């Protein structure tokens, strides 16, 4: 049983016009699908779901959606949230029925830990998280809240690839290429110094070329 519960009601009417009226009334449209059962169009209290959407676990945990007037549980995963691109508010939610033994693929956040202890940070290096999320496959009841990357031993210039990461048991990240997840970039001052040195070298080479050309004339 999950502690993350969504209260909802059945929607008898669908369509964009009805959805706009719902939002003005403080409700959000949603749908529950999958599991060899009929789709259920539902409405959800916008304030209540807004609080749940601020909980990171809501995106990677099994949920229970209670539908008023309907018997039986709807154990689901949140599969998609449609957002208003201007107001950055939720517009519609999709829930997919799952059982605890189902294998599911979801996006899970990447979290860098112990960066403040690593040699790269002491040297002024910059933490560059190249992949902020990873697409992981696991049992529905064992989805990790995050994929942690231990940075304790990383120095400037070090890179962590997907095959360097120890994933939670039962979790897989499908990949054809050993892609970069995190690296420790050089301090900005060092980058500027390198750029200045390269520019000085280029200017010197240009001046030498000019002098050689003048000598030939």
The DSSP-derived string for 183-213 is EEEPPHHHHHHHHHHHHHHHHHHHHHHHHHH
pLDDT > 90 in the chain, percent: 73
| Pair of tokens at residue 123 | 């040297």
For residue 71, the model assigns a pLDDT of 74
pLDDT at 76 over 70: yes
217, pLDDT greater than 70:
no
Residue 195 clears pLDDT 80, i.e. is over it: no
Question: How far apart, in whole angstroms, are the C-alpha atoms of residue 162 and residue 105?
Answer: 17
Tell me the per-residue pLDDT of 128-173, one tens digit each, with 9 for 90 and over: 999 999 999 999 999 999 999 999 999 999 999 999 999 999 999 9
In this predicted structure, what is the pLDDT of residue 200?
55
Query: Which pLDDT belongs to residue 196?
Result: 53
Q: Is 141 helix (H, G, I), strand (E, B) or coil?
A: helix
Q: Which stretch, 84-88, 176-180, 184-188, has highest mean pLDDT?
A: 176-180
- pLDDT for position 72: 77
- Report yes or no: 96 and 127 within 8 Å, Cβ to Cβ: no
Residue pair 43/67 in contact by the 8 Å Cβ criterion? no
Q: How far apart are the first and last CA of the chain?
A: 88
pLDDT number for residue 211 = 53
Integer Cα distance of 93 and 79 in angstroms: 8
Does the pLDDT value for residue 123 go beyond 90? yes
Alpha-carbon distance 47 to 156, whole Å? 45
pLDDT at 188: 75
The structure tokens 């309907």 sit at 70
Q: Domains in the chain, start-ordered, CATH in brackets?
A: 5-98 (2.40.240.10), 104-191 (2.170.120.20)
Q: Is the pLDDT of residue 41 over 80?
A: yes
Instruction: Point out the least confidently predicted range of 43-47, 67-71, 166-170, 192-196.
Output: 192-196
């Amino acid at each position: 049983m999950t502690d993350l519960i969504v209260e909802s009601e059945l929607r008898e009417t669908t369509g964009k016009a009805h959805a706009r009226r719902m939002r003005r009334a403080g409700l959000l449209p949603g749908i529950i699908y999958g599991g060899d059962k009929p789709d259920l169009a539902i409405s959800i209290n916008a304030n209540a779901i807004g609080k749940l959407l601020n909980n990171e676990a809501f995106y990677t945990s099994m949920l229970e959606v209670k539908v008023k007037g309907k018997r039986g549980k709807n154990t689901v995963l949140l599969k998609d949230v449609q957002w208003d691109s201007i107001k950055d508010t939720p517009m519609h939610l999709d829930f997919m029925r799952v059982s605890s033994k189902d294998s599911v693929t979801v996006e899970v956040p990447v979290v860098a830990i112990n960066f403040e202890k690593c040699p790269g940070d002491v040297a002024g290096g910059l933490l560059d998280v190249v992949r902020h999320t990873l697409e992981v496959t696991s049992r529905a009841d064992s989805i990790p809240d995050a994929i942690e990357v231990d940075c304790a031993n990383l120095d400037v210039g070090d890179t962590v690839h997907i095959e360097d990461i120890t994933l939670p048991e039962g979790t897989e990240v499908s990949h054809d290429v050993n892609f970069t997840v995190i690296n420790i970039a050089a301090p900005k001052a060092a980058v500027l110094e390198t750029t200045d040195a390269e520019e000085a070298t280029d200017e010197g080479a240009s001046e030498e070329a000019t002098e050689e050309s003048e000598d030939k004339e």
